Amino acid sequence: MIPAGQVVVSEDELRKVHDRLYRLESAVEDVEADLAGASGAKEYKAAFEHLLEAAQDLVGVVVEPVRQ
């Protein structure tokens, strides 16, 4: 029996979400490092585009409980 407030999610779906979140986390770290020495609009635009690309990978992601 599954405890109240918990659900079962397929391993594949959980792995996909984990991978996408890791990609976003890595992009945030990249952007933080890039912007530490940035001085112009070109650097900020490139950093934003990198972060946006990683974040877009999560748009529309919904993790649904497995129904039996």
Question: Could you tell me which of 48, 46, 1, 54 has the C-alpha nearest to residue 27?
Answer: 54
pLDDT confidence bin for 3, thresholds 50/70/90:
confident
Whether 9 has a pLDDT exceeding 90, the answer reads no
pLDDT > 90 fraction of the chain, expressed in percent and rounded: 57
Task: Please report which helix (H) or strand (E) contains residue 67, including its range.
Answer: none
Indicate if the pLDDT at residue 4 is higher than 90: no
Question: What's the whole-model pTM score?
Answer: 0.77
Buried b (16+ CB within 10 A) or exposed e, 10-47: eeeeeeeeeebeeebeebeeebeeeeeeeeeeeeeeeb
Helical packing angle, 41-56 and 11-36, nearest 10°: 170
Average pLDDT of the chain, as a whole number: 89
